Amino acid sequence: MISPILRQTSALILARRQPEYRRFLHSRIDFGEQLIGIKGARGCGKTTVLLQHAQSCGLEASRILYIACDHPAMVDVDLYALAQTFYQEGGQLLLIDEIHKSKGFAVHLKAIRDTFDLQVIFSGSSALRLEHELADLSRRAVVHELPVLSLREFMEIETGQQFAAYALPDILANHANLAANVMQTLRPIEQFKKYLRYGAYPFYRESFDNYTSKLLEVINLTIDSDLASLYSIAPDKLDKLKKLLYMLCSTDPVELNISKLSAGWVRPGRRFRAISTA
- How does pLDDT run across 116-158, given as a tens digit for each residue? 999 999 998 865 566 666 666 767 889 899 999 999 999 999 9
**What integer pLDDT is reported at residue 24 of this predicted model?**
95
Angle at 12 between CA 95 and CA 214, to 5 degrees: 80
* In the predicted structure, residue 271 carries a pLDDT above the cut 50: no
CA distances from 95 to 37, 50, 180, 269 (A): 10, 7, 43, 52
* In the predicted structure, residue 254 carries a pLDDT above the cut 90: no
* In the predicted structure, residue 168 carries a pLDDT above the cut 50: yes
Q: What is the pLDDT of residues 78-127, one digit of tens each?
A: 999 999 999 999 999 999 999 988 888 888 999 999 999 999 999 988 65
Contact between residue 238 and residue 227 where contact means Cβ atoms under 8 Å apart: yes
pTM of the model: 0.83
- With cut-offs at 50, 70 and 90, classify the pLDDT of residue 278: very low
**What integer pLDDT is reported at residue 196 of this predicted model?**
93
Rounded to the nearest integer, the mean pLDDT of the chain is 87
* In the predicted structure, residue 266 carries a pLDDT above the cut 80: no
- Would you mind telling me the total number of residues written for the chain in this entry? 278
